[in-house]
Structure 1
Amino acid sequence: MNSAGRRRSAAVGAAAALTLLATAGCGSSATRQAAPPAPSPTSAAPAPSNGLALPSGLPGGLPSLNDLKKWKFSDWDNWAKQHAIPQAVKGFWNLQKMLQAKPSDPVVQPQQPTDGGTDPLPAPLPAQAIAHPYAQNAVDGKVFFDVAPGKHAVCSATVISDPQHPGKSNLIWTAGHCLTSGKSGQQYSNIAFVPAFNSSGAVSGGKQVDNQGQFAPFGVWDATAGISSPQWYAEGGETGGPASQYDFAIIRVQSQDGSGKSLEETVGGSVPVWFNAPRDQLKINAVGYPAAPPFDGMEMEHCDGGQATRLSFDTSRPAMDVIGCGMTAGSSGGGWFALRNGKPALVSNTSIGPEESGWLAGPYLDDVAQSALDYISKKG
């Protein structure tokens, strides 16, 4: 999922053979190669040995989940300073570059992914196109970024509420692999968010337009900061594994027009994040911009996935949620929503899914995710 032009497979115990889709060049010409087995889902993943620097005062190696849940603002701040994202080039993205961007969605070739051998796969569900214009889905959009000079990539994302700036959020939620490669240490560049991309349908069906307002009705928003989980930074890579269980990212953006108006005010709303949600009670709806065949990335799609099942690579970490959904590469980072007090709340994001589309898996958002949002909210 995080390097150009190839897919790899990984075993999850004896239960599943999993692959993640390459960030770029992951169309029908991509090839798959065998990868080393991932850690058994019945044992904890070993600490990384890649020299990853941690905030001062913490033990070497990847901190435990209990340690992470105790991190203070200063710990997250030290961590973030070591993983600062490159400043986006203002005006970098035009329609031609956006159309060249290749999807960055993880996909999976499953046999029977389970959590402890108990959960069956959900029934496959087709993705359904959302009708133009995207007036009710303006909080959803596309994230564009460069994985290398001239190599443009794309994910999906959602405008989320900012606890420290109610009504004036400039935060989006996406997948960790849409921000950084993970353990290889590459921070992607020229990260930008386009809410309600192609809301009018102006670029549907291969049509070309000259006016940015026709495909970016709320403008292009450049990233100024971003944070993912320490698990993703330390372990994330091209194949499914324990890091996928913490494959999320929060990005702060700013408008290019200099108006000072927030993203939330511009699109007309935001979605709160529901941490530690009672998942046995959730009916999940997923949204994204799938770009691999049979889709072309121009249309916003959704899946009413319903009740989720479970998938674990490492049972010491919260199991991922799995829903039936036919979205393909390009939908990575797209929001998963459930009703809380009658209103939508974000409960996860697309992380991995089958190579032959039919279901998607997303991380369960626990205290670590909540601490990351609290940090970037206060930092802003």
Structure 2
Amino acid sequence: MGGGADPTDNAGSRTFAAQPDIAAVLAYWTPERMAAAVPVDAPATSGKAPISLRRTPEDKAWGQVDGAEPRGGVPMGAADIHSMSGRVFFTSDQGGNFSCSGSTVNSNGKRVVFTAGHCVHGGGAGRGWHYNWVFVPAYHAGSPYGVWTSYQLWTKTGWINNADRAYDVAAAVMNPLNGVRIVDAVGGQGIKWGIGYGQNIYQFGYPADPPYNGSQLYYCAGTTWNESGFPTISCSMTGGASGGPWLESYGQTFWAYLYSVNSWQFWNPDPTHVYKWQGPYFSYDTAGSLYDLVKDM
């Protein structure tokens, strides 16, 4: 699926729910393959501020969904930022094994992980969906919560058609593991959109380019500012952190609110010296409509 003139439309990959498909993906991701996965390249295009071809309904312009504690598989006291964050592994549309970061998000279906658009689709003409897509909560050369396979991947047509990083956000609907849905197992963050810039946030990810190695969760904290329509924050995390959550109200409740995701980093003089990151602005056009689409799956 794809196409559509409006970059704010959503498009999804084929679904993967058959047990042989799930078993094949789990068998593919050996510890050796995970360790050798390369941090995915961040978007190369400059992007532009989101412009919708349709009017956003007034009751959708601002939105908030609370997070959720786990209901099975993990003691509530053990569920925290680590259980709700994880590494993403996939084979790209052009071949090769890559890594990103992501976060569970609460929904009616309890099956959603948010990440960056370039972590699910190559973006631009001739590119396609990534595959062998898995999420590993609390990754540390393995995970106490197992490896979760994707049922279906979703992102914005603005990313699919034009690799426009204003739409570099994605949602993965995950298959249950041992009969348990992922948010029930590890908890899920809340999500907000339309709340503006200048927010105090914590930014998380699994950087895997030097001087990091992807083995643990790191964070930066600060106040976002607006650069050409993109939320921006000072941070030194490197490649591999793409798709990791920007969390607003972190530490005030059991969960926080997803505010954006890691999309694009800036460095000087080389990629081992990153000094700031940007993410897509979470409006209804970008994150809200995507969330509404997958929340009941």
TM-score, structure 1 as length reference: 0.61
Q: Aligned residues, how many?
A: 252
Cα distance in structure 2, aligned partners of 1:141 and 1:325: 19
- 2:234 matched to 1:324? yes
Cα displacement (A) at 1:246: 1.1
Residues 299, 194 of structure 1: CA spacing in aligned structure 2 closer, same or farther, 3 A cutoff?
Answer: same
Letter in 1 for 2:151: T
1:191 match: 133
Contact 2:247 2:257 in 1 (8 A): yes
2:257 match: 345
Contact 1:288 1:331 in 2 (8 A): yes
Letter in 2 for 1:292: D
Residues 309, 100 of structure 1: CA spacing in aligned structure 2 closer, same or farther, 3 A cutoff?
Answer: same
1:333 match: 243
- 2:93 matched to 1:181? no
Cα displacement (A) at 1:104: 1.3
Q: Secondary structure of the residue that 2:249 maps to in structure 1?
A: strand
Contact 1:134 1:196 in 2 (8 A): no
Letter in 1 for 2:288: Q
Contact 1:244 1:363 in 2 (8 A): yes
1:302 match: 219
Q: Secondary structure of the residue that 1:371 maps to in structure 2?
A: helix
Cα displacement (A) at 1:260: 1.5
1:370 match: 288
Cα distance in structure 2, aligned partners of 1:277 and 1:299: 30
Residues 138, 340 of structure 1: CA spacing in aligned structure 2 closer, same or farther, 3 A cutoff?
Answer: closer
Cα displacement (A) at 1:264: 1.3
Contact 1:177 1:247 in 2 (8 A): yes
Q: Secondary structure of the residue that 1:194 maps to in structure 2?
A: strand
Unaligned 5+ segments in structure 2 are 50-77
Residues 340, 156 of structure 1: CA spacing in aligned structure 2 closer, same or farther, 3 A cutoff?
Answer: closer
1:47 match: none
1:95 match: 31
Q: Secondary structure of the residue that 2:265 maps to in structure 1?
A: coil
The structure having more radius of gyration, on CA atoms, is 1
2:83 match: 138
Cα displacement (A) at 1:192: 0.4
TM-score, structure 2 as length reference: 0.77
Cα distance in structure 2, aligned partners of 1:341 and 1:350: 20
Letter in 2 for 1:172: V
Q: Deviations over 1:75-131 (max 9, x none)?
A: x5xx43xx43666534221101101100015278x9xx999xxxxxxxxxxxxxxxx
CA RMSD of aligned residues (A): 2.7
Cα displacement (A) at 1:135: 5.0
Cα distance in structure 2, aligned partners of 1:98 and 1:148: 17
Unaligned 5+ segments in structure 1 are 1-51, 55-61, 69-75, 116-132, 204-214, 237-242, 313-318
Contact 2:93 2:122 in 1 (8 A): no
Moved over 4 A (4+): 85-88, 133-136
Contact 1:271 1:345 in 2 (8 A): yes
2:191 match: 273
Contact 1:85 1:187 in 2 (8 A): no
